[in-house]
Structure 1
Amino acid sequence: MDTTRLPQVIEDWFAGRGWRVRRHQRDMLAASRAGLHALLVADTGAGKTLAGFLPTLADFAGDAPPEDGLHTLYVSPLKALAHDVQRNLLTPVEDMGLPIRVETRSGDTPSDRKARQRAKPPHVLLTTPESLSLLLSYPEAATVFASLKRVVIDEVHAFATGKRGDLLALSLARLQALAPAMRRVALSATVADPEAFRAWLAPWGDIDSVALVEGEAGAPAEVEILVPEGERVPWGGHAAAWAVPQLYQAIKANRTTLIFTNTRFLAEYIFQLLWDVNEDKLPIGIHHGSLSKEARRKVEGAMARGELRALVATASLDLGVDWGDIDMVVQMGAPKGSSRLLQRIGRANHRLDAPSRALLVPGNRFEFLEALAAKDAVDEGRRDGEDFRPGALDVLAQHVMGCACAGPFEEAALLAEVRSSHAYAWVDEAAWARVLEFVATGGYALRAYDRFKRIVRGRDGVWRLTHPEHAARHRLNAGIIVDSEMLEVRFRNGRALGKVEENFGASLRPGDTFRFAGMDLEVESLRDLEIVVRAAKSAGQIPSYMGARLPLTTHLADRVQALLADRTGWARLPDDVREWLEVQDWRSRLPAPGELLVESFPHGGRAYTVYYTFEGWNANQSLGMLITRRMEDAGLGPLGFVANDYALAVWGLKPVEDPAAMLSPAILTHEFVEWVQNSYLLRRAFREVAVIGGLVERQHPGKRKSGRQVTFSTDLIYDVLRKYEPDHVLIEAAWADARTRMTDVGRLADLLDRAAGQLVHVELDRVTPLAVPVLVMIGRETLPAGAADDELLVEAESLAAAAMRPTRG
C-alpha cells in the first residue's frame, strides 16, 4: 500500500488550484499512517499547516469518515493565528464537501459556546495552550478527549522552550493518558535543533517514535541592508529615524509593506514619523499587544483585504497570519536573531516558490554589523533559538490543580503521567511531594490559612478538591502570561515624575542613583508599584529606562565577533563603518572570537572601563550592577555604568587597574545572591510564580484585582516565606526565573569563564572608536523610544572626534 497516496477528492482539489502536493506533505501523511508522531521543519509558505491537517482531511475523505467527537486539536501560540487558520482550513473543507465541523476556543470565546463545545465538541478544535489546559480541568475532559486522534502544534519554536511550553507538555501528557492512540504533530519554519524538539515532543522520551520531516527548499530570501543616502551610519541610537524618508519611498514603490520593530514604543514612534512624511495620505496602520482587541482585529481585517499600504508591527505578528500579498518586510533596528529574522521575512509573499524580500534598517554601527551577520545567517539557512530547560515548578503546581478540578487523582499515577513529558522527566518523588504539599496547603508557613487548602488526600489515598468553589477560582485565574507592571517614580511628597518598566525598577535597591526625567535621582524605597526617590547629590549611577528588549542570541553575537575578526570581509562594509573598525584596530584592538577585550581610558575627568562582552543587554546590565558594587568595596568610587547588547561601560573616580579581579567567578556566588535578594528582582519573580502557581488570585467573580493589589498580596506572602520557609517551592521557582530570564546568569557564567582565560586589557589615553556607541547612551532616556536620537547624534560627534583623531596617544 502506498502510504503517501491521498484520497482522490483531495488530489483533485490540489490539481484544481494549480498546486502539487509537496513531498513533505506526503511524508507527513506517511508518518501518520505509520503510527508515528512527527516534527515538520519547513520554510514559510511551504504549506506546513495544511501538511499538519492533511491526515485529518484524508480520514474524513475516506470511505468511512470518523463519527462525531473531537478528532483533531490544533494548538497555536496566538489567538489571531488560530482564527486565521480556521478561515484557511474552512476553504478546502467546504470546497471538498467534507463533513468536518471546525471551531475555535480561546479567552475571547463566549461562555455558552464553550459549554456547548464540552457537551458536543467539533471535529476540529483550534485553541491555545492556556485554553487547552482549562478545557482539561473540567470533569467532562475524559469524555471530550476520548476520541482524539491528533494534536497539531503550530509554530512550536515560539513557546516550547518557555513556561507556555511547559504547560503544553503537561497537557499533552494528560491527553495521551486520556487517548493513548493520539499522535502529536509539531510544525515550525525556524527550529535550530530538531533533535531537541523531537525529544520535547516524544512521550516517555521515545524520540524514535517522532519522525523528522524536512520540507522542500524554498526560493532564497532577498535581503538588503539600508544605508543612509550620502550620509554616515549613525554612531548611536536604535530608532533608525534617519531612514524614514527612504522607508516612505519604499512603501510608495510596493503594494504592501510590513514594518517590524522590536518594541511597542518604537512601533508608535516610527508610525508617527511615517505619518509626518505621508504627503500622499497612504493608508498606514499599526499593530501591537497594547492595542485593544477591537483595534487589532480591525487592522488585521484591513490587512487581509489588502486595504493597507503599510503596517508597523511588533512581535505580535511574528507568527504569521497568512497575508500573501505582502511584497516587502522591513526590520527596523537590529534583528537580534536569525530565526526571528527568518520568521519575519517569511511574512512577505508567503509562497515557497517566490523569494521573500526584506530590508534591514540598522540604528547604529554595531547594529549594521548585526544586520550583516543576520543576513549571512539567513543566506546560509542557519537558525538559532533558546535552549530547553527543566520544566518550571509553578507551572507544574497549576497543572496539578487543574487535574484535581477535573476529578480525584491518585498520586503515583499522576506523577507517572507528569514524568512522561520531557520537560518534567526530572521530577523525583521528593520534588513531587513538595509540589503536592504546596497545592494542598500553601506550604508549611501558610498551612494554617484555610484559603490555601485546595486539595486533600482521603483515607483511600486519592486526592480531591476540598471544596467545589476551588475549581471555579482556578479556571478564573489559571494562565501563564503575567503582565509586566509599570512602576511609578515619585518624590516622597507625592509629586510624580513618570513611570518606568518593572524590568528596570526590579534591579534597583535603596541608595542606587539613576537619571530620569532630566534629573539625577536616588532611590529611597520600593513599595507596591512605586519607586520613591529624592534628588541625588551626584550624577545618576545606573542607566535609566530603556524599554523592553529582545535578547541578542548567542549565535548572532558570535557571528558579529567573527565579522570583526574577518578583516578581508570588511570590503563589504560602508566606508565609514570600515574606517571605524580600521581606526579601532590601529588605536587599540578588536575583540577576537572567544576573547574578552577590556579597554580603560580617561574621559571628562573620569576613569572609564569598557568590557566588550557580546552577551546581550540582560547579562551586561546584571554585570554592571555587580561590578559597581565591587568597585565600591575596592574604594574606586564608581559613578555609573551603561550597557547595550555588545558592551558594558563603567566609570568612576579611580581607574580599574585589574579588570580580571572584577570578574572572578566568585561574583556569581555570594555577591550575585546578595544583589538579587536585596533588589526587587526576586520579589518581582515571586509575584509571577505566585500568580501562575495559584497562590495569589488575579480575579474574583465579576472583579479583577489591580496590579497594585496583586503586588501587595504577593509582597506580604513573600516576606512571610522568606522569614519562615525560605526553601518554599515557589521561592525556588522564583530563583530559577531570576537566574534565567531576568539576569541571564548562564551567559554571565560563560563571560566569567572567558575572563578567566582570555581577558585582554588595553590601557589608552582617550576614548576608542569601538566605545563610542555605548558611551553615547550615558544619561539618555528613551521615552518615547527613539526621541533622543538627535541628541545622541550630537553627543556621538563629540565623542567620535576624540576617538577618531589620527594620532596615537
Structure 2
Amino acid sequence: MSRSPPTPSDRPSDLPPELAGWFAARGWQPRRHQREMLAAARAGRHALLVADTGAGKTLAGFLPTLAQFCPSAGPPPPDGLHTLYVSPLKALAHDVQRNLLAPVEELGLPIRIESRTGDTPSERKARQRARPPHVLLTTPESLSLLLSYPESAHLFGSLQRIVIDEVHAFATGKRGDLLALALARLSRLAPQVQRVALSATLADPQAFRRWLSPGGDAGLVDLVTGEPGAPPEIALLLPRGERVPWSGHAAAWAVPQLYQAIRAHRTTLVFTNTRFLAEYIFQLLWAANDDHLPIGIHHGSLSKEARRKVEGAMARGELRALVCTASLDLGVDWGDIDLVVQMGAPKGSSRLLQRIGRANHRLDCPSKALLVPGNRFEFLEATAAREAALEGERDGDPFRPGALDVLAQHVMACACAGPFAQSALLAEVRSAAPYAWLDEAGWHRVLAFVASGGYALKAYDRFQRIVRTREGALGESAGGESAGGDAIWRLAHPDQAHRHRLNAGIIVDAEMLDVRFRNGRSLGRVEEAFGASLSPGDTFRFAGLDLEVESVRDLELIVRAARRAGAIPSYMGARIPISTHLAERVRRLLVDRAGWGRFPDDVREWLEMQDWRSRLPGPGELLVETFPHQSRHYTVIHTFEGWNANQSLGMLVTRRMEERGLGPLGFVANDYAFGVWSLKPVDDPAPLLSPDILTHEFIAWVENSHLLRRAFREVAVIGGLVERQHPGKRKSGRQVTFSTDLIYDVLRRHEPDHLLIEAAWADARTRLTDVARVADVLERAGRQVVHVRLDRVSPLAVPLLVMIGRESLPAGAADDDLLLEAEALASEAMRPDDAAPAGHADAAD
C-alpha cells in the first residue's frame, strides 16, 4: 500500500469516484505509475511495474480489481475467482490480505479476499475450490496444486487478472519455472486473463518482460516505472575502540551497540542470512536485554502458530525488535519499522535494497539501515553494497532454461486434472518462456518418464503414473489418437492424483523433525540430522527457548522447558554466494588506493601491508599467492567468485596437485578465495587452472562426488519418482536417501542419459558448483595469472586460513577460537620488516 501522499494527478477521472474519494480522504492522489497500471488494464495489456519500496506497488497491482468492483463501474463482476495474487512468501500473502482489506471494507466493496498457502486448513481449501473468493492470495506451489484438480477449469474460467508480487525473488529459479507453466495453463483456461508483475529490484526488466509474456514476446508486456524514492540512509556499524575482526560471520561483537540502536528506535528489523544466526543473535540480544524490551524471532522453520503470533504482534506495533531471515525479505509492510539491520554480508545490492526497504515503508521518507560486517572482507562487501544501493545499481540471477524435473511435476498435475492431448499440452508448455526451447524429442522423453519412470524403470509397476488411452475422451479415436491425430494421456490409476498432491512441491529441504511440547503445542522443525544427535536429557535452543529432550518418537522431538542453554540447531541450506556485480565492486575497492582513507585505520593498514608485502588483484587479474606456514606449503587463489565456485575449484585444483605429485593435504574456501596446503610447493599455478579442467576433471569429480547424488535426490523428489509422503505416514530423510541412491545407481549403470540424470547435472552445474563462475576464473587465469611468492602468510590470506578445520561449523559457533587464531596469524602477516618486502611476483599472460 502507498502510505505517503503520492504526487499530484492531473487526471483524477482515471479512477472511479469511489476510489478517488478514498484517496482524497487520506490527502492522497494516485501516483503516475498507479494510473498507468490502471490504463494498461483497461487496454487489455499485460504489465510489469518496477518501482521503489513504498511506492504503492501492491495497490497499483490491485487498483484495476478494486475499480471493477466499484458501484459506479456498473454491475459487479459475477461470483467466482476474479483476481489471483501470487507471492513467494506465505508471510507476504497474509500481510497483503491484511492491508488489502482496509480499502475494501472502508469502501464497502463486495469483494471476498482469502489466502491459500501450505498453512491453510484443508477444509478451507476444499471450500475455496467449491466456492472460490473473488481474490485469492497464494504461492506458486499452492497454485500448481489447485490446477491439479478436475474442477480447475471451472474454478479459473472466470479469472481476469494475475498479480505476481516480488517477481525477482523466484522467476529465475525452479519456482519461477513452475509458475510460468501455471501461467501458461491459466491462459488456456481463461484466455482473457491479464498478467501483472511487481518488483522494486530488477537489474534486467527486459528479461522479466519476456518471462511474464505469453509466448515470451516482451512487446506484449508494458513496462511501467515508478518515481524514484528518497535515497536510503545506510551506515556501517563498526567496533568502538576495537579492530574490525579478521574472521567470523556472526558479528557477535556488535550486540551491545545493536541493543542500544534498538532502544533508540521504535521498531527494528534485524536480518540474518541463516536460521542458525537468527537464533544465535536472538539469544545474544535477549541476554543483553536489561530493559526487558519485547523482542521476537521469525524464520521458516518455526511453526505456523509461532510465525503468525509474531507477525500479528509486529502488525500491531507491539515489538521493539524482530530477528529474522529471508522469511521476511519481501514486501511485508509494517509501517512502524524505522530501522533495518543487516547482520553479516548482504551478498548482493538488490537483496540489501529489498531488506532495507522494510524501514519507513514510504516513498518520500528515506529507509534507515545499519550494516554490521562480521569481518574485514565483509566490511569491504558491505561498503560495496552500500555504494551500489545509493547509486541505484541492481544485481540478480540470470534466467536459464526451464528445469525438466519441474516440467515432469507439471505434466503430472495436468493429468490429475483430467486427460490431456499430447500436442496441445506441448504447445501450452512452449508458451511458457522457460520452456520455449522444448522440442518434440525432449517432450517425448518427459512423457515417457512420467508414464513409466524411463527405460530402466518401466518394468516396475510403482513408476507407472500415466497411460495413453484408447477410450473416446476428448474426441479421440481408437488407438489412443484424438480426432486430430493427437495422443491422449490419462492417469494410470485414480490414486495417483492423491499421491501427487501429497508430494508436489519445488522446495526440497533436508528432512525435518517436528519439535513439540507434550501437550501437542508445536514450536517448529529441526533437521533430522541434528535431531538424530539428541538423546533424552540433552538440551538445545530453538524458537528463542531453552529446551530439554524428553523423547524422540517417529519423526517428532518431544521437549520441555530447560533451565540451561544448549546447542543451536544448524541447517544445511545452500549458502548465498556474493553476487558477480558486488564481487566486481569489491575488487575495485581493493585497488582504489585513494579511497582507502575513508576506511577504519585497521582495515586501511591491512590493505596497505598487503599492497607492500604482496599485491592486490587488479581488474582482470587472478592473484595467486604461495608461501610456507607451519611446515606446509600454501597456495591461495583470490577469485572473488563466491563460495560454491571456490569450493568447486578447491576440489579440482587439489585433484590436479595430487596427479602432479605435490602432496595436497586439504583445502579451504570462502566467498573471496580458496587455499590448498600441500607437502610440496606450487612453482607454477597456471597449469592447475587451465580451461580443460572443466572438460576432464570436472565431469569425473562431479560424477564420483556426493554432489550428483544430492542433486539427483532433489530432482527425483520434484519429478515425483520418489515420494516423501504416503497417506498417514512420512518417510524419514534416511529412507528417501536410501531410495534415491538405489535408483541413481540403477540409472547410472543402465540408463545414464535418463531425464533425471540430465536434470541433476543441470542442478550440479548451476546451483551446486556454479560452473559459470568457475569458467570465469579459468578465463581470467588464461589472460593473466599473477603469481606472488612469499616467505610467510599474506595479510589478505589471514581470513581464509583462520577457517581451516572449522568450515563445517555454523557461523558464530567458534568465534572465540577464531579470534585467538586470527590474532596469531595476523601477527605473522602484519609484522613489519626493516628489509624490502619478500614477495616476488610472476605475471603470466
Please report the TM-score for the alignment, with normalisation by the length of structure 2. Answer: 0.88
SS at match of 1:232: coil
Counterpart Cα distance in 1 of 2:208 and 2:627 = 47
Q: CA deviation at 1:610?
A: 0.6
* Partner AA of 1:645 in structure 2: D
* Inter-partner Cα distance in structure 2 for 1:804 and 1:681: 38
Following the alignment from structure 1 to structure 2, what is the Cα–Cα distance between the partners of residues 173 and 644?
41
Identity of aligned residues (%): 79
Aligned counterparts of 1:29 and 1:628: Cα–Cα separation in 2: 59
Match of 1:618 among 644, 648, 658: 644
Contact 1:173 1:203 in 2 (8 A): yes
Q: Distance in 2 between matches of 1:147 and 1:547?
A: 40
- Deviation at residue 762 of structure 1 after TM alignment: 0.8
Aligned 8 A contact 2:141 2:506 in 1:
yes
Q: 2:823 pairs with 784, 787, 797, which one? A: 797
Runs of 4+ in 1 over 4 A off after TM superposition: 1-4, 499-503, 544-548, 781-784
1:611-630, Cα deviation, whole Å (9 max, x unpaired): 00000001101111111111
- Partner Cα separation in structure 1 for residue 134 and residue 617 of structure 2: 58
Match of 1:347 in 2: 358
**Alignment partner of 2:407: what SS?**
helix
Q: Distance in 2 between matches of 1:476 and 1:2?
A: 51
- Cα 1:621–1:545 shift into 2, 3 Å: farther
Judged with a 3 Å threshold, the aligned counterparts in structure 2 of structure 1 residues 765 and 546 are, in CA distance, closer, same or farther, namely farther
Q: Structure 2 vs 1, CA of residues 342 and 738 (structure 1 numbering), >3 Å: closer, same or farther?
A: same
1:144 is aligned to 2:143: no
Q: Structure 2 matches for 1:437-452, cutoff 5 A? A: 437-452=448-463
The answer to whether the Cα contact below 8 Å between 1:263 and 1:548 also exists between their aligned partners in 2 is no
Contact persistence 1:402–1:474 (CA under 8 A): yes
SS in structure 2 opposite 1:186? strand
Match of residue 521 from structure 1: none
Deviation track 1:351-404 (CA, whole Å, cap 9, x = no partner) reads: 111111000011111110100000000100111010000000000001111111
Following the alignment from structure 2 to structure 1, what is the Cα–Cα distance between the partners of residues 429 and 277?
41
Q: Choose from 416, 420, 428 the match for 2:439.
A: 428
Of the three residues 46, 60, 64, the one matched with 1:37 is: 46
Q: Which residue of 2 aligns with 1:657?
A: 683
Matched, 1:634 2:660: yes
**SS of the counterpart of 2:197?**
strand
> Are 1:191 and 2:202 an aligned pair?
yes
In the superposition, relative to structure 1, how do residues 674 and 485 fare at CA in structure 2: closer, same or farther (>3 Å)? Answer: farther
Q: Residue 722 of structure 1 corresponds to which residue in structure 2?
A: 748
CA deviations over 1:654-690 (Å, ceiling 9, x no partner) = 1111111111111112211111111111111111111
Q: What secondary structure is seen at the aligned counterpart in 2 of 1:787?
A: coil
Distance 1:546 1:246, change over 3 A: farther
- Corresponding residue number in structure 1 for 2:136: 125
How far has the Cα of 1:172 moved from its partner? 0.2
Contact 2:668 2:807 in 1 (8 A): no
Taking the aligned partners of 1:180 and 1:267, their CA distance within structure 2 comes to 45
1:238 corresponds, among 219, 229, 249, to 249
* In structure 2, C-alpha distance between the alignment counterparts of 1:60 and 1:300, rounded to whole Å: 29
Contact persistence 1:4–1:27 (CA under 8 A)? no
Counterpart pick for 1:584 among 607, 610, 629: 610
Go from structure 1 to structure 2 and tell me whether the alpha carbon gap of 1:319 and 1:209 turns closer, same or farther (over 3 Å shift): same
Q: Is the 2:83–2:161 Cα contact (8 Å) retained in structure 1?
A: yes
**Alignment match, 2:842:** none
Query: Could you tell me how far apart the structure 2 residues matched to 1:765 and 1:596 are?
Result: 20
> Does the 8 Å CA contact 1:3/1:33 hold for their aligned counterparts?
no
8 Å CA contact 2:91–2:327 kept in 1: the answer is: no
Structure 1 CA distance for aligned equivalents of residues 127 and 824 of structure 2: 68
Q: Is the Cα–Cα contact under 8 Å of residues 152 and 417 in structure 2 kept in the other structure?
A: yes
Comparing 86-95 with 167-176, which one deviates more in the overlay?
86-95
Verify the 8 A CA contact 1:4 1:30 in the aligned structure 2: no
- Structure 2 residue 760 is the aligned partner of structure 1 residue 734: yes
Q: Deviations over 1:397-450 (max 9, x none)?
A: 011111111111111110000000110000000000000000111100111111
Kindly report which structure 2 residues correspond to 1:485-496, keeping only aligned pairs within 5 A, or say none: 485=511
Task: After superposing the two structures, state which structure 1 stretch, 417-426 or 627-636, moved more.
Answer: 627-636
Q: 2:700 aligns with which of 674, 679, 702?
A: 674
- CA apart distance, 1:64: 2.4
* Counterpart code for 2:762: A
What does residue 540 of structure 2 align with? none
Matches within 5 A, 1:746-761: 746-761=772-787
Flag structure 1 segments of 5+ consecutive residues without an equivalent.
Answer: 488-498, 504-528, 530-543
Indicate the larger mover: 302-311 or 332-341: 302-311
**1:170 corresponds to 2:170:** no
Residue pair 1:637, 1:653 contacting (<8 A) in 2 also: yes
**Which amino acid in structure 2 is aligned with residue 312 of structure 1?**
V
Give, in whole Å, the separation in 2 of the partners of 1:13 and 1:545. Answer: 47
Give the CA deviation at 1:546.
9.2
1-structure distance, mates of 2:166, 2:439: 31
Q: Displacement of 1:107 after TM fit? A: 1.9
Amino acid in structure 2 at the alignment position of 1:710:
V
Q: Counterpart of 2:559?
A: none
The superposition leaves residues 150-189 of structure 1 with CA deviations (integer Å, 9 ceiling, x where unpaired) of 1000011111011000000000000001111111000011
Out of 560, 581, 591, which is 1:565 matched to?
591
Aligned length: 759
1:271 to 282, 290, 298: 282
Provide the rounded CA distance (Å) in 2 between the counterparts of 1:382 and 1:187.
18
Read off the aligned partner of 1:679 and give its amino acid letter. S
Partners of 2:808 and 2:263 in 1: how far apart?
29
Q: Structure 2 CA distance, aligned partners of 1:804 and 1:501?
A: 44
Structure 1 residues 417 and 545, CA, compared in 2 at 3 Å: closer, same or farther?
A: closer
What are the residue-to-residue correspondences of 1:306-455 with 2, within 5 Å?
306-455=317-466
1:287-298 correspondence runs (5 A): 287-298=298-309
Aligned-residue Cα RMSD (Å) equals 1.9
Task: Report if the CA contact (8 A) 2:181-2:410 is conserved.
Answer: yes
8 A contact 1:261–1:332 mirrored in 2 = yes
In structure 2, the CA distance between the partners of 1:209 and 1:502, relative to structure 1 (3 Å rule), is farther
Separation in 1 of the partners of 2:807 and 2:702? Answer: 25
**Match of 2:43, as an amino acid?**
A
Matched residues in 2 for 1:465 and 1:260: separation?
45
- What is the deviation of 1:263? 0.9
Indicate the residue corresponding to 2:549 in structure 1: none
Cα separation, 2, equivalents of 1:328 and 1:183:
37
Task: Determine which of 793, 797, 822 is the counterpart of 1:771.
Answer: 797
- Secondary structure of 2:14's match? coil
Aligned to 1:9: 18
Cα offsets for 1:487-533 (capped at 9, x unmatched):
9xxxxxxxxxxx99999xxxxxxxxxxxxxxxxxxxxxxxxx9xxxx
Aligned residue among 309, 316, 333 for 1:305: 316
Q: 1:685 to 1:146 in 2, by over 3 A?
A: same
Change (3 A) 1:104 1:750: same
Contact kept, 8 Å, 1:782 with 1:788, in 2: the verdict is no
CA drift at 1:486:
8.6
The corresponding residue for 2:521 is none
2: CA distance, partners of 1:117 / 1:179: 18
Q: Compared with structure 1, are the counterparts of its residues 547 and 126 closer, same or farther at alpha carbon in structure 2 (3 Å cutoff)?
A: closer
CA distance in 2, matches of 1:275, 1:34: 54
- Segment drifting more, 281-290 vs 639-648: 281-290
